Every structure is written in structure tokens, then in C-alpha cells.
Amino acid sequence: MSNSSSITEFLLLPFADTRELQLLHFALFLGIYLAALLGNGLSPPAIACDHRLHPPMYFFLLNLALLDLGCISPTVPKAMANSIWDTKAISYSGCAAQFFFFLFLISAEYCLLTIMSYDRYVAICKPLHYGCLLGSRACAQMAAAAWGSGFLYALLHTANTFSLPLCQGNVVDQFFCEIPQILQLSCSDSHLRELWVLMVGICFASGCFVFILFSYVQIFSAVLRMPSEQGQHKAFSTCLPHLAVASLFVSTGFFAYLKTLSFSSPALDLVMAVLYSVVPPTLNPLIYSMRNKELKSAIRKGISWTFLNGNKLFLFLHK
């Protein structure tokens, strides 16, 4: 029997045992990670530099892109490194850091999606009060609250989880340090210490979900009462990307939580972990950019400006 004081590293679940499949996994994750970096990396500078993209909705989109960029970074690069170097090990401190940053960023993103539903509610249901209720100071405070809430919850959860005595070895049946897998390594008599932290998280997540649901009930009621079909189409076009992102986030998280309550195979656990930790940060920028003409235009201008000035710099250095 081992305990937490004697554990210096954890062993993560590999995606494959053969070298060829490990290299295939590396290439696949590399493509996904680069797509996420490109998609989420283009939006923030485009939003910051284009004066047309300074309404509150785009400010929240900037924060969402940063959170998506952060969510995928603690897990995927380590999984790629393990595949390319044919290893399963992650240090104890590295596991704790991965646990903390992933939980911090994904919790903050859930809070931000809740705030974005309020932004859409005010924009459609109370348009005359939009500038008053969602001024620049209010938006900054709400975004800071989302980041702060995620940080505090992750700090509390990480400190409590990694202070538990570990009696079940050091093998984590997941490709990153996931919450349920770490808890399975703890001693059976220490689970009650973690229960109250989980209950706080479940209550908070349920409250956010109810708020998002209530907001969209009000939004759809207001949109359906609009006399103009053009107005309805415009309102739906601004809401559907956020609704799609929120639905993707909630559904993947919900199914990931369900599989922890029932018996499931390691392969299914692995697939579910990829769905909720890798897929949303990769698809979110595509969902928003495909539906938003202003954002697509700003990104195209930014890319054109970069290439134009890059060519000028190259010609200058060549001369």
C-alpha cells in the first residue's frame, strides 16, 4: 500500500501500445492543437484592433478565446509529449498543476458562458438598457468575476484533492490528471473530505445551467413576438452561436459526469475525456467565426495586413 507522501509521479493512460499508433496519435493531436491555436489565436487581436468589434459581446468573445486556448494547453501538449517519447509518467507537481489549470480554465469558461447568456438576454429583451447595464466597467467586472470564480474553485479543489492520502497506487486511468481518476486513488475513508467541495461545484454548475436556460426561454419568447422576420433572423443569428457553444460545453460535461457514476470501460472514459476537454476549445472559434460576418472580416483584414507587412519587411531585409 502506498501513500501520497511516497508518490513522486503518476502514470497516465497511453492512447496506444504500438509505436505506429503512438505516432498516429501524436500527429492527430498535433493537428487538433494547431487548429485550436490558430482558431483561438486569431480572434483576440482581431477584436482588440478593430474598433467595430468593441461592443460587450466581442469583449466576452475575446475572453472566451483566451479561455479555450488555455483549456486545451494543460492536457494536449503533455499527451503529445508522452506519445512521441513513449512514456506514461507525469510528476506529482506536474499532475497537480495540470489538474489546477484545467479545472480553473474550464470553470471560468462555464461562468463566462453564463455571463454571455445574460449579455444576449439584455441585448434582445432590454435593448434600451443595454448600454447602461453592460457598460465597459460592468463587462470588465463580470469577466473578472468569471476568471476569479474559476481560480478560487480550482484552488480549493486542487488543494483539497492533493491533500488526500493516496492508498491505491499511482496509475491514473486517463490521458491527463482528471478529477474522478485522482479520487479513485485516495483512501476510501477520505472521500467525505472531498464530498463537500464536489457539492459546491455541482450546486454552482446547476445554478449556471438554470440561469442559461431561463435566459434563453426569455430570449426566444421575445424573438417570437417580434413582428419583423428580418428582426427575428438577426436576433437568432446573434444567439445561435452562443447557444451552440453552451450546449456543446454542457452536454459533453454532463455525459462525462454520467460516465463517472456508472461502470464504463477505459476506452469509453478516454473518448469522453477527449470530447469534453479537446473538442469544445477546437470547435468554439469555428462556430463563432462561421456565423459572424464582422469577426470574419476583421480576421481576414488582420491576416492580409500581417502578410503585407511581412512581405515588406522581407523585401527591406533582402535589399
Domains of the chain: 4-318 (1.20.1070.10)
pLDDT score at 188: 61
**49, three cell numbers:** 484592433
Predicted confidence at residue 317, as pLDDT, reads 42
* Among 120, 143, 130, residue whose Cα is nearest residue 59: 143
Q: What is the pLDDT along the chain (319 residues), one digit of tens a residue?
A: 445 557 788 988 887 778 888 888 899 999 999 988 988 888 777 777 777 766 788 889 889 999 999 999 999 999 898 888 888 889 999 999 999 999 999 999 999 999 999 999 998 888 888 888 888 899 999 999 999 999 999 998 888 888 888 877 888 888 888 877 887 787 765 556 666 767 777 788 888 889 998 998 999 888 888 887 777 777 777 787 878 888 877 777 666 666 555 555 666 777 777 878 888 888 888 887 666 677 767 666 666 655 555 444 444 444 5
Q: What type of residue is 211? A: F
Look at the block and give the residue holding cell 488526500. Answer: 164
Those residues whose C-beta lies under 8 Å from the C-beta of residue 22, and which sit 6 or more positions away, are 14, 15, 16, 83, 84, 86
pLDDT for the residue 273: 79
pLDDT, residue 145, reads: 95
**pLDDT score at 263:** 52
- Paired strand residues for 9: 91
> Distance between CA atoms of 298 and 304, rounded to whole angstroms?
10
Between CA 3 and CA 169 the distance in angstroms is 8
